[in-house]
Structure 1
Amino acid sequence: MGKPTGFLEFNRETGKTVDPKTRIKNYNEFHLPLSEKEQRCQGARCMDCGVPFCQSGVIIKGMVSGCPINNLIPEWNELVYTGTWQQAYNRLKKTNSFPEFTARVCPAPCEAACTCGLNGDPVSIKENEYAIIERAYKTGIAGPNPPKIRTGKKIAVIGSGPAGLAAADQLNKRGHSVTVFEREDRIGGLLMYGIPNMKLEKHIIDRKVEIMEQEGITFVTGADVGKTQKAKDLLKDFDRVILACGASEPRDLKVPGRDGQGIYFAVDFLKSTTKSLLNSDLQDQLFLSAKGKHVIVIGGGDTGNDCVGTAIRHGCASVIQLEMMPRLPEKRTPDNSWPEWPRVLKTDYGQEEAISVFGKDPRLYQTTVKEFVKDKSGKVVKAVLMNLEPKKDEKTGRMSMEPVAGSEKAVPADLVLIAAGFLGAQSYVAEAFGVKLNERRNVETLKDKYKTNVDKVFVAGDMHRGQSLVVWAIREGREVAKEVDMDLMGYSNLA
């Protein structure tokens, strides 16, 4: 697939990025794509490897290897090489409802499993995906394609994140009438308010939602099901209901001084910035500002990195990002061989920007907060940090990070952002429909199934599997759509 000798002739290339000191002046995407000629060379690097690990989507040692939605990657790599762009789009869309999203925010487990990366650099798969979908929009082939026949069945989707949108898209293509209910003022869920503009500009979401509306899907905003919108009414008015409300219960930090003013969950910080940016270009000042403040971000994942990048754009005085775990190695270790997900050090855009602005990496490894110090008015002014070290429990054999005695140190803190992940679904939606939650506080179903204990009610996405990647949410949205279609019609032709 591609050019048989392409991986020998061409080096891996990806589009350039805007210089950190320039891009922090705005909230725009900063990725500069390759030219068509350069992109076709990247498609040529696909190896015809026989077993395409890139599209496998399997779990190895608890980590995904290859694409969770089983994208037909070698096929559209070849089509990029040959310049057969419409066919490349057709093959891409066969498995992926939203390549315009995944081409921007997916961490690309496909590339980590690429055979070309076993002894060299992997194919720039994500870059090829971006080229295919953006060209499709420019040439008009990604436009609306409404179903020609309607089944008369009505389906309600609660939540407009990637899982909900994927389910709605598939079921609408089947000919069912779909209404998506979203509690926020804009459609997109996690995509809209959980991911900053510089990673995913919001007109990209609006562009797709407009097409979905033209295809016949109805979107209702400001509908907080379980509060302003009654679950019993939806069960009466619709043939089936899909819950896709995400894992939106943030994990808190229980230490002295946690009640201090200036301590927020990361999701609230990011949401406030995006909403103000969209409403007024930040002129309304209705956001949690980091300007001139000493910022501490607690959590080393993508959300923590997004907080670092956003705080720098606000004009923070300093930023520290705390990571409980040890620093990862720069190269794979012998016990982390290909095609496993590489557990190696990654310096993301926010950290790059912090290095550019402040001259050092913001991350402090094996570190956590012992206490927050407040002033007389109750505002947080300092954080007492302490080091952690790994220790093995002699009875269970499990490793845990334990405090190091005497390692405490105080650092200034005017704004603290907790990005420690999520504990599961918010309970009020589950309670409104009467669905059971499991021990992880996700909605319970049979293994690899999406039907809940309540008749007519299904679940998908993070509300079902727990906090995960956008690409997993898309997969679950497509799979729940097929299960709902089977339940309604007795058979399904959905992929």
Structure 2
Amino acid sequence: MGKPTGFMEYKRELPADREPLERLKDWNEFHLHLPEEHLRTQGARCMDCGIPFCHTGMLVSGMACGCPINNLIPEWNDLVYRGLWKQALARLLRTNNFPEFTGRVCPAPCEGSCTLGSIDPAVTIKNIEVSIIDRGWAEGWIAPNPPQVRTGKKVAVVGSGPAGLSAAAQLNKAGHQVTVFERADLPGGLLMYGIPNMKLDKREVVLRRVKLMEQEGINFVCNTAIGGADYPVEKLKGDFDAVILATGATLPRDLPIDGRNLKGIHFAMDFLTANTKAVLNEGADFISAEGKNVIIIGGGDTGTDCVGTSLRHGCASVTQLEIMPRFPDTRATDNPWPEWPKVHKVDYGQEEAAAKFGADPRVFVTTATRFEGDAQGNVTAVHTVQVEWKQNEKGQFIPVPVPGTEQVRPADLVLLAMGFLGPEQELPEALGLERDPRSNIKAEFNRYATNIPGVFAAGDCRRGQSLVVWAFNEGRGAARECDRFLMGETELP
């Protein structure tokens, strides 16, 4: 695909982001687009490798290898190279319901498994993807496409995050009447309130897609918690022919050390959610980092988002504690292509912190041991220690404190960004669903059926905390199996 010699002639090129200190002044998206001629050149780098690992969509060493939704990447790279943008969009939409989301927030396991990436910098797959869909919206090629025939079957999707939205979109294509329930005030789940506006614009990107889905016949019911007084499970099962649960893994991992009950210590998602609500609605309450020394405990995307949000508030300082070691700058010998490359990266938040304060805010192999507070019960400091990862008697690697590395770090605001333990249990319990040993809803991958006939589970509530693109994979798969349950057969992919 692309130009046969393009990978030898052209270097990898990404669009410049907005300048870090400039973008800290607002909540607007910071990514820019390349000019069309540059995008076509980048598409030309796709090297006709014969066996394109970029769209394999499987797990290798427990990590994603290639695109979990099996995007036909070489094909739309070639179409972009040839300037056939509308055809590229059609090819992209065959496998991806929401390229404007994955093109902005997916970590791009496709690029980690790009064949060219085994010898040179990978093809800029993610940037080409978002450029295709953004052009489609700009040109008016994205328009409502409701099904021509309705089946008369009604399906409830509980949760409007990535898995729920993709399940709803596919079931609607099959002709079923779909109602999506969301307990928050706006649809989108993680896409709406778990990811800051500067990474994924809520009005211009998320709500634009929700509006299109409504125009295609999908009904969104917000401010409604299933399983309680709002909407009992008996009514849910009585009103619908099938149910897909896509509630996510929203139970945060806590840090039960001395001083945890001090004021000023919050879960990261509470901080991010309230902030996005304030961005969308001026005057809404939020947890402000203005003028504060902020300590973020945990890495990953959520930790980075807390860094970027704190900086936009005008924090006095920001430090991010990561218990894991710093990744190497290049692939280690035990991390070969096409595995996900475990290499050191500087994300947008760290780049912004370095621009403002002169250094990357991350402190590696370090953990908190206790919180310190004042007489009024406010957190004032975090006590930390460096750790060394050693094997215990069972052969498991565990963090062991290193004597003499203790430190007291001033803190007025502490954000816990250590991941999630699984789904909240009230709804699964009310429905009588079986759970796996990790408290996730028990349903076999690629079948998605729970122990209750007609009830399916998809996304993080089934597999545990994972990537947005895996949620899209599971939502599509659950829709397929739900359609099969309702109709006896299915044409959904």
Q: TM-score, normalised by structure 2?
A: 0.98
Structure 1, residues 363-418: CA drift from partner, whole Å, max 9, x if none? 1111111110111111111111111111112x322211111223221111100000
Q: Secondary structure at the match of 1:222?
A: coil
- The alignment status of 1:463 with 2:464, answered yes or no, reads no
Give 1:432 deviation, angstroms: 2.0
Deviation at 1:143, TM superposition (A): 0.9
Find 1:239's aligned residue among 225, 238, 241. 241
Give the match's secondary structure for 2:271.
helix
- The code of the aligned residue for 2:486 comes to L
Counterpart of 1:5 in structure 2 is 5
Alignment correspondent of 2:400: 402
Aligned mates of 2:152, 2:284 — CA distance in 1? 47
> How far apart are the structure 2 equivalents of 1:430 and 1:476?
18
| Structure 2 Cα separation of the partners of residues 133 and 285 of structure 1 | 32
Q: 1:472-487 alignment to 2 at 5 Å?
A: 472-487=470-485
Distance 2:446 2:487 in 1: 20
The equivalences for 1:36-435 within 5 A come to 36-203=36-203, 204-227=205-228, 228-280=230-282, 284=283, 286-393=285-392, 395-435=393-433
Aligned equivalent of 1:443, options 441, 444, 450: 441
Q: Which SS does the other structure have where 1:389 is aligned?
A: strand
Write out per-residue CA displacement over residues 306-356 of structure 1, whole angstroms, 9 at most, x where no aligned residue. 000100000000011000011111111111111111111011000011111
Matches of 1:448 and 1:178, distance apart in 2: 21
What amino acid maps onto 2:269 in structure 1? Answer: V
In 1, the alpha carbon distance for the partners of 2:395 and 2:239 equals 53
Question: Within 2, Cα distance between the matches of 1:230 and 1:20?
Answer: 48
Unaligned runs of 5+ in 1: none
3-state DSSP of counterpart to 1:480 = helix
Secondary structure of 1:369's match? strand
Q: Which amino acid aligns with 1:61?
A: S
The amino acid across from 1:333 in the alignment is A
Counterparts of 2:419 and 2:169, CA distance in 1: 28
Q: Secondary structure at the match of 1:180?
A: strand
Rounded Cα–Cα distance in structure 2 between residues aligned with 1:491 and 1:245: 26
Distance in 2 (alpha carbons) for counterparts of 1:448 and 1:132: 29
Map Cα deviations across residues 19-63 of structure 1 (whole Å, 9 max, x no partner).
100001111111110011111111111100000000011211111
Quick check: 2:446–2:477 contact (8 Å CA) kept in 1? no
Aligned counterparts of 2:476 and 2:341: Cα–Cα separation in 1 = 27
**Secondary structure, counterpart of 2:405 in structure 1:** coil
Q: How far is the alpha carbon of 1:285 from its aligned partner?
A: 5.5
Shift in Å at residue 142 of structure 1?
A: 1.2
Please state whether the residue corresponding to 1:17 is helix, strand or coil. Answer: coil
User: Aligned partner of 2:309: which letter?
Assistant: T
1:436 deviation in Å? 1.5
Q: CA deviation at 1:455?
A: 2.0
Give the letter aligned to residue 447 of structure 2. Answer: K
Contact map agreement 2:24 2:312 (CA 8 A) in 1: yes
Supply the distance in 1 between the matched residues of 2:455 and 2:486 (Cα, whole angstroms).
12
Q: Within 1, Cα distance between the matches of 2:116 and 2:327?
A: 23
- Counterpart CA distance in 1 for 2:422 and 2:274 is 22
**Segments of 4+ moved more than 6 angstroms:** none
State the number of aligned residues.
491
Distance 1:447 1:314 in 2: 41
**Aligned equivalents of 1:51, 1:198: Cα separation in 2:** 36
Of residues 430, 447, 452 in structure 2, which corresponds to 1:454? 452
Q: CA deviation at 1:447?
A: 4.5
Q: Do 2:386 and 2:401's aligned partners in 1 also have CA atoms closer than 8 Å?
A: yes
Q: For residues 117 and 53 of structure 1, what CA distance do their matches in structure 2 show? A: 10
CA distance in 2, matches of 1:466, 1:219: 25
Structure 1 SS opposite 2:94: helix
User: How far apart, CA to CA, are the structure 2 residues paired with 1:467 and 1:243?
Assistant: 15
Identity of aligned residues (%): 57
Match for 2:51: what amino acid? V
The SS at the match of 2:266 is strand
Give the superposition deviation at 1:96: 0.6
